[in-house]
Amino acid sequence: MNDHGAPVREQPPPPAPPPLWRRLCQRALLGATGALGATAVTWLRAWWEDHSG
C-alpha cells in the first residue's frame, strides 16, 4: 500500500541493458590479449634469434 491507500502494483523488471558494454569489454580484452601475444611473440623471436646463433 502506498500513501494514498491504493495497492502498489509490482513494477516489471527493467529491460536488460544492451550488450554494448559487454562488447566493449570483450574488444578491450581481445585488444590487450592481442597486444600481449604480439609482444610475447616478438620477444620470443628476438630471444630465439639471439640464442640460435
Quick one: residue 38, left, alpha or beta (phi over 0 = left, psi -120 to 50 = alpha)? alpha
- Which pLDDT value is given to residue 1? 55
pLDDT at 18: 67
Write out the three cell numbers for 3.
500513501
The pTM assigned to this predicted structure is 0.47
Look at residue 2 in the predicted model and tell me its pLDDT. Answer: 56
Q: What is the pLDDT of residue 19?
A: 81
Give the confidence band of 3 by pLDDT, cuts at 50, 70, 90.
Answer: low
Residue-wise pLDDT tens digits, 15-48: 776 688 888 989 999 999 999 999 999 999 999 9
Return the exposure string of 22-35: e unless at least 16 CB atoms fall within 10 Å of the residue's CB, then b: eeeeeeeeeeeeee
Here the cell at position 37 is: 601475444
